[in-house]
């Protein structure tokens, strides 16, 4: 998709109109006159002048596709055109942010400043009348973020429902991610190391570590049993058994989050297990429908995965018994997925209403990242997995359920580490839209 495609002009106009309407309501309810959003400031290493990669405030990039303009601000006053206060310093040490351009600029009054402190002349005069959203380090003299809960809760709640513009951004992020995943798989098949697979991924995505929405998980063999493995060994292993890649891409501030697991050519029994998890995962994706309780879908996934463990000879007890006893959680210890959008783990996954509140996780599932009922416009990941994690298996051996485990088979599969399959899925008024599968199919 070409970002200059004319269809983006009406999509963005409608998106901005939606954000304005939400801001109007949030400000009215909380008693403020202005919504002010700080892009954020660069942070530095302790006792050093080296800066960390800049990460923009997600509220800022919700309003416009600008992710590399630290020191900038957005000011919105109901009934008025939003204002962008854009820091474009005179600087020969660093790359200066480009002048604002593109399909979105006509919707903003733009003030260019050369120093961060110059923003004060363009900000509302009375900070007490402002809902100021941002990190503490964005504060200027007498003007500091206050992040009022009433405003934040309302805005976060409505971020759950993606506009047509946002879905267009997410589709592009998925296409970039899928293309890079194909390159990573090819590198694995060619015998590359974890580090070299990572490099192949970045080259295909045309994104650096700092551009990617999160640190790539590139895990060969038993490293796949470490859920957030990021060490990336430089030397290839002596034997290749399996490859798990959890990696996404960014597009105009929006993220994709994709996971695939591949078996080596000789690992037929493990491939059969991968195929079973993949089929189950597609079944879970098909249930991303209006009115579906996400925690109930998570528990359903436990039953299906426990059935796979039984069918493949890892456990002897029933699927129901495996879930009730907690045995299934040894092999599937994380949540089914999470909201995704401006952030990989997007906001409001537990929120009870637009006024805040929390919907608790179901007992026994402490790592689930969403407890809401699905509605049209929500985008979630679906990422079931089965793993052979030494620490959890060692703890299991001291429990009564251990007698129902075929330990010889489990031990034989430790060399593969684990399996995870993850897609990004849109809940619609009808059948779900699987952004990830569609992206792979289009390659």
Q: What is the pLDDT of residues 408-440, one digit of tens each?
A: 999 999 999 999 999 999 999 999 999 999 999
pLDDT tens digits, residue range 257-305? Answer: 999 999 999 989 999 999 999 999 999 999 999 999 999 999 999 999 9
| Res 137: pLDDT | 94
Answer positive or negative: Cα dihedral of 364, 367, 371, 374: negative
User: Tens digit of pLDDT for each residue in 126-146?
Assistant: 999 999 999 999 999 999 999
Q: Are 370 and 338 in contact (CB under 8 A)?
A: yes
pLDDT of residue 148: 98
Calpha distance 54→61 (Å, rounded): 13
Express each pLDDT in 145-191 by its tens digit. Answer: 999 999 999 999 999 999 999 999 999 999 999 999 999 999 999 99
| Helix locations, 256-406, DSSP H | 268-286, 294-311, 319-325, 327-331, 390-396
347-359 confidence digits (pLDDT tens): 999 999 999 999 9
Residue 3: pLDDT above 60? no
Task: Give pLDDT, residue 95.
Answer: 82
How many CB atoms are located within 10 Å of the residue 40 CB?
A: 22
Ramachandran region, residue 378 (left: φ > 0; alpha: ψ -120 to 50; beta: rest):
beta
Other C-beta atoms within 10 Å of 109: how many?
Answer: 12
| pLDDT value for 92 | 81
Q: Where are the domains of the chain?
A: 8-158, 164-441
pLDDT band of 385, cuts 50, 70, 90: very high
| Alpha-carbon 328 to chain mean position | 25
pTM over 0.85: yes
| Res 81: pLDDT | 98
As a whole number, mean pLDDT of residues 86-99 equals 88
CATH topology for 164-441 is: Creatine Amidinohydrolase (3.90.230)
pLDDT, average across residues 219-224: 98
The predicted model gives 217-221 an average pLDDT of: 98
Q: For position 93, what pLDDT does the model report?
A: 81
pLDDT of residue 2: 42
Q: What is the pLDDT of residue 121?
A: 97
Give Cα separations from 64 to 258, 397, 413 (angstroms). Answer: 25, 53, 47
Task: Provide, rounded to the nearest whole percent, the portion of the chain with pLDDT above 90.
Answer: 95
| The pLDDT of residue 91 | 86
Q: What does pLDDT average to over the chain?
A: 96
Cβ within 8 Å of residue 290, ≥6 positions away:
374, 375, 376, 427, 428, 429
Contacts of 322 (CB under 8 A, 6+ apart): 302, 306, 309, 310, 315, 328, 401, 404
The per-residue pLDDT for range 265-276, each reduced to its tens digit, is: 998 999 999 999
Strand 130-133 to 34-38 pairing: parallel
Question: What confidence score (pLDDT) does residue 75 get?
Answer: 98
CATH superfamily of 8-158: Creatinase/prolidase N-terminal domain (3.40.350.10)
């Amino acid at each position: 998709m070409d970002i200059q495609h004319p269809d983006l002009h009406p999509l963005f106009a409608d998106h901005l109109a939606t954000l304005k309407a939400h801001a109007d309501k949030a400000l009215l309810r909380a008693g403020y006159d202005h919504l002010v959003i700080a892009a954020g400031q660069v942070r530095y290493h302790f006792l050093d002048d080296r800066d960390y990669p800049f990460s923009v405030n997600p509220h800022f990039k919700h309003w416009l596709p600008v992710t590399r303009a630290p020191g900038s601000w957005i000011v919105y006053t109901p009934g008025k055109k939003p204002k962008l206060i854009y820091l474009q310093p005179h600087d020969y040490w660093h790359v200066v942010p480009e002048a604002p351009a593109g399909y979105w600029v006509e919707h903003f009054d733009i003030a260019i400043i050369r120093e961060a402190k110059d923003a004060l002349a363009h900000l509302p005069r009375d900070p007490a009348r402002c809902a100021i959203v941002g990190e503490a380090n964005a504060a200027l003299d007498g003007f500091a973020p206050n992040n009022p809960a009433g405003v934040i809760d309302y805005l976060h709640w409505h971020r759950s429902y993606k506009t047509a513009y946002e879905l267009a951004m997410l589709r592009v992020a998925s296409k970039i991610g899928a293309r890079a995943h194909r390159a990573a798989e090819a590198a694995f098949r060619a015998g590359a190391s974890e580090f070299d697979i990572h490099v192949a991924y970045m080259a295909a995505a045309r994104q650096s570590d700092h551009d990617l929405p999160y640190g790539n998980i590139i895990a060969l063999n038993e490293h796949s049993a470490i859920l957030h493995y990021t060490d990336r060994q430089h030397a290839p292993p002596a034997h290749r058994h399996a490859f798990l890649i959890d990696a996404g891409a960014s597009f105009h501030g929006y993220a994709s989050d994709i996971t695939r697991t591949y078996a080596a050519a000789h690992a037929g029994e493990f491939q059969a297990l991968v195929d079973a998890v993949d089929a189950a995962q597609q079944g879970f994706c098909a249930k991303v429908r209006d009115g579906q309780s996400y925690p109930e879908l998570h528990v359903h996934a436990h039953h299906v995965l426990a059935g796979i463990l039984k069918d493949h000879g890892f456990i002897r007890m029933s699927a129901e018994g495996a879930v009730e006893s907690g045995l299934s959680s040894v092999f599937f210890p994380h949540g089914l997925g999470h909201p995704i959008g401006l952030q990989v783990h997007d906001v409001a996954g537990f929120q009870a209403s637009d006024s805040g509140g929390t919907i608790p996780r179901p007992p026994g599932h402490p790592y689930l990242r969403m407890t809401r009922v699905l509605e049209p416009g929500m985008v979630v990941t679906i990422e079931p997995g089965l793993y052979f994690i030494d620490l959890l298996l060692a703890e299991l051996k001291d429990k009564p359920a251990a007698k129902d485990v075929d330990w010889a088979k489990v031990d034989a599969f430790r060399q593969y580490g684990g399996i995870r399959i993850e897609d990004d899925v849109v809940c619609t008024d009808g059948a779900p839209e699987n952004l990830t599968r569609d992206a792979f199919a289009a390659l």
